[in-house]
């Protein structure tokens, strides 16, 4: 992965993290700016890593499920041409604008990935689209589970009052 692609994925992750954290931070009073910055940067790294794993996960799934995907070919990886729509989707579909727009733009990015996977792996487009979709949903569910776990672990509970 080139440095340009890594920076694009990090910016896409930053946009995604800011979009997820702004509604939460807006409801809180007295949150330090340092803590918000740490949460945003941590979220950017996590979301950027999830974005980076998407083509690799789709490629691995294609190798496991579909015998036509031969392992002697180069694995699918982000290129600046594939990552640019992802960055655009993350910026334009700031999750505050609505989950439906975000979903539509991510489907557009997945379509580009499916086309690239079909070309690289020698599969049909629908099989490639299925691998990209399953990999994307699997990564999304995994990261959402981790987010919920982190929130649950960082939530302070009020002490119980005894009568």
Neighbours of 107 (CB within 10 A): 15
Phi-psi region of 80 (alpha: psi -120 to 50; beta: other; left: phi over 0): alpha
Please tell me the predicted confidence (pLDDT) of residue 135: 92
Please identify every stretch of the chain with a pLDDT value under 70, giving residue numbers as ranges.
Answer: 1, 67-75, 89-99, 154-163
- Do the beta carbons of residue 13 and residue 91 sit within 8 Å? no
Q: How far apart are CA 123 and CA 66, in angstroms?
A: 8
Q: State pLDDT tens for residues 41-50.
A: 888 888 888 8
Q: How far apart are CA 39 and CA 32, in angstroms?
A: 11
């Amino acid at each position: 992965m080139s440095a340009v692609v890594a920076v694009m994925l990090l910016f896409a992750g930053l946009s995604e993290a800011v979009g997820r954290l702004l509604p939460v931070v807006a409801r809180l009073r007295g949150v330090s700016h340092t803590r918000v910055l740490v949460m945003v940067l941590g979220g950017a790294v996590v979301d950027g890593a999830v974005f980076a794993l998407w083509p690799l996960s789709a490629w691995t799934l294609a190798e496991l499920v579909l015998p036509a995907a031969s392992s002697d070919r180069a694995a699918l990886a982000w290129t600046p041409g594939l990552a640019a729509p992802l960055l655009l989707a993350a910026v334009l579909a700031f999750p505050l604008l609505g989950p439906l727009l975000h979903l539509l733009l991510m489907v557009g990015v997945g379509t580009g990935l499916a086309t690239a996977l079909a070309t690289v792996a020698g599969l049909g487009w629908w099989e490639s689209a299925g691998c990209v979709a399953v990999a994307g949903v699997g990564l999304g569910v995994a990261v959402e589970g981790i987010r919920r776990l982190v929130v649950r672990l960082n939530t302070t509970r009020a002490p119980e009052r005894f009568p």
